[in-house]
Structure 1
Amino acid sequence: MGYSLRSEFIVIIGIPIYLVVFAIHIFKRYKKNIKIKWFRELVKFVFVIYVLMLMSVTLFPIYIGIDHDPNYYRLPINLIPFKNVIKEIGMIGTSYGGDIVFHIKLILRNVVGNTILLLPLGVMSPIIWGKFTRVKMIILEGLIVSIFIELLQLIEILSGIAFMRAVDIDDLILNVLGVIIGYLIYKLTFYISNKYHIKSIMNLFAESTKEHPSDGTD
């Protein structure tokens, strides 16, 4: 008899593990009389939750020891940018019983969903790690993370523990676009906090830029 690991599994397991590691980290800093920057720690905690949610959305559910109808499995690999999006747009009005609104919603959900998938990465990475205040580094990070997700999904499909998934260059392009948009949100927040002297946010950004003095434009 097989079983499935639902998307909630990684979140339920991951958060308690992080909280234990976090408690040990805080205890060590407290013992050494090192100042604890709670706002920064909060951002890290939110980032951990985001990563767990990202994994749950992209890699789960996983089916172990469960036999499926072979027709459920598919291995589409699209390396032509926006080929499927253009194809779907061309089928509006002829698919899904002619339900144009429903079809457009599906297309938007795919495009917008893949764009916002890594958007938080572009916002939080520069705050947590100083080296990601550079636009080149943030794009590279988004590219690596997106490729890693696509490879894991491919491995899951080939190993038979996942189905109805696809490896698509569009996902990669939209994911990186989302990271860039997130980075721009970070830069806009940085600009506003400096212009209006929002000290709590200015201090948070100041901590991250200590590791890298760049203004993030190169």
Structure 2
Amino acid sequence: MIKNTTKRQKLGWVIFIFYLIFLAYFLFFSDYFGRGSHAQAEYAYNLTPFKEIRRFIVYRHVVGWESFLLNIVGNIVGFMPCGFFLPVISRRSRRWFNTVLLSFLFSLCIETIQLVFKVGSFDVDDMILNTLGGILGYILYKIIQHIRVRVRRKKRAKAETSVLH
């Protein structure tokens, strides 16, 4: 790690690495998601934006709520830690555009690995939902940072007030 990293950044790196391991397991190895060690003979992919999102929303009663939540909400929530921890571990990612771009590129890498190794399916809708998750994670980071700054200012003001009295 870089010499000038703070304790918060180091902890962020540790948590981020565990997140990546957890994500890799569920995306590439989990039997629950039908990944396992076997490659698919017939590979499915989707290059039409919003096709699968629309299908899961319209037919949510047919495909079931579990599939709906797993595919739509799961892709968003699964990438929220990415958008949250990137600004923690990297000063450059504190700019929203960098975090959004890195979230998209990370999702593109995952989808490309799925395409090459025929694990899961390459889906442009997954990239859209994953990027949205990265954006929501970044927004959560900004909200928490705003709260931290306000609390710190209140403590400082309270300490200064008590010193004066």
Measured in 2, the distance between the counterparts of 1:186 and 1:75 equals 37
- Other-structure match for 2:109: 148
Q: Does residue 132 in structure 1 map to residue 93 in structure 2?
A: yes
Measured in 2, the distance between the counterparts of 1:90 and 1:118 equals 24
Q: How many residues align?
A: 149
Alpha-carbon offset, residue 89 of structure 1: 4.0
| Structure 2, gaps ≥5 residues long | 30-34, 155-165
Measured in 2, the distance between the counterparts of 1:122 and 1:55 equals 17
- Other-structure match for 1:170: 125
Alpha-carbon offset, residue 37 of structure 1: 4.3
**Greater per-residue helix proportion:** 2
- Written as runs of structure 1 = structure 2, the 5 A alignment for 1:109-128 is 109-128=70-89
Measured in 1, the distance between the counterparts of 2:92 and 2:83 equals 12
The alignment yields a C-alpha RMSD, in angstroms, of 2.6
| Structure 1, gaps ≥5 residues long | 1-24, 97-102, 200-218
Identical columns (%): 28
- What TM-score results when the alignment is normalised by the length of structure 2? 0.78
Measured in 2, the distance between the counterparts of 1:173 and 1:120 equals 16
Query: Where in structure 1 do 4 or more consecutive aligned residues deviate above 6 Å?
Result: none
Alpha-carbon offset, residue 90 of structure 1: 3.9
Q: 68, 80, 99: which is aligned to 2:48?
A: 80
Q: Secondary structure at the match of 2:145?
A: helix
- What TM-score results when the alignment is normalised by the length of structure 1? 0.60
Rg larger in structure: 1
- Written as runs of structure 1 = structure 2, the 5 A alignment for 1:161-200 is 162=119, 165-197=120-152
Check conservation: 1:85, 1:107, Cα contact below 8 A: no
Alpha-carbon offset, residue 38 of structure 1: 3.6
- Written as runs of structure 1 = structure 2, the 5 A alignment for 1:7-86 is 37-60=6-29, 61=35, 63=37, 73-86=41-54
Alpha-carbon offset, residue 74 of structure 1: 2.7
Deviations 1:17-73, CA, capped at 9 Å, x for gaps: xxxxxxxx7xxx7xxxx8x8444322211111011111111122552xx6x8xxx53
